[in-house]
């Protein structure tokens, strides 16, 4: 008695054996992947915290940009009504 999928079943069985062999031979890769998967939540949370917080140097850079922008507007005579141009010395 021959099965209609005999050739296909044999190919599928061979693929399963090759897949199993590949997994067994690449034990280090599997372990490394497991570690990578386990650390993904930590990486996501830490990147979210980093994006939500501002370091002192970032705050200083932002304030410096704001001051340079204010100074430029005051010098060009395009100051906003809320700008305090009294602190800006003309050059």
- The number of residues in the chain equals 91
CA pair distance 31, 7, nearest whole angstrom: 35
Could you tell me the pLDDT band of residue 54, with boundaries at 50, 70 and 90? confident
| Mean pLDDT on 65-78 | 90
| Mean pLDDT on 31-52 | 77
| Spatial contact of 76 and 91, defined as CB atoms under 8 Å apart | no
Could you tell me the pLDDT band of residue 2, with boundaries at 50, 70 and 90? low
Task: Dihedral sign for Cα 19, 25, 27, 28, please.
Answer: negative
- pTM score of the predicted model: 0.42
What's residue 38's pLDDT?
77
Could you tell me the pLDDT band of residue 12, with boundaries at 50, 70 and 90? low
How remote is the C-alpha of 33 from its chain's centroid?
18
| Spatial contact of 65 and 76, defined as CB atoms under 8 Å apart | no
Closest CA to 67 of 89, 88, 91: 88
What's residue 41's pLDDT?
81
What's residue 60's pLDDT?
94
């Amino acid at each position: 008695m021959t099965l209609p999928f005999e050739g296909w079943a044999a190919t599928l069985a061979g693929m399963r054996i090759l897949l199993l062999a590949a997994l067994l031979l690449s034990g280090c890769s599997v372990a490394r992947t497991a570690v990578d998967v386990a650390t993904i939540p930590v990486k996501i949370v830490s990147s979210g915290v980093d994006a939500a917080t501002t370091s002192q140097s970032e705050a200083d850079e932002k304030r410096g940009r704001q001051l340079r922008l204010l100074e430029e507007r005051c010098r060009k005579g395009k100051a906003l009504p809320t700008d305090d141009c009294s602190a800006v010395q003309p050059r």
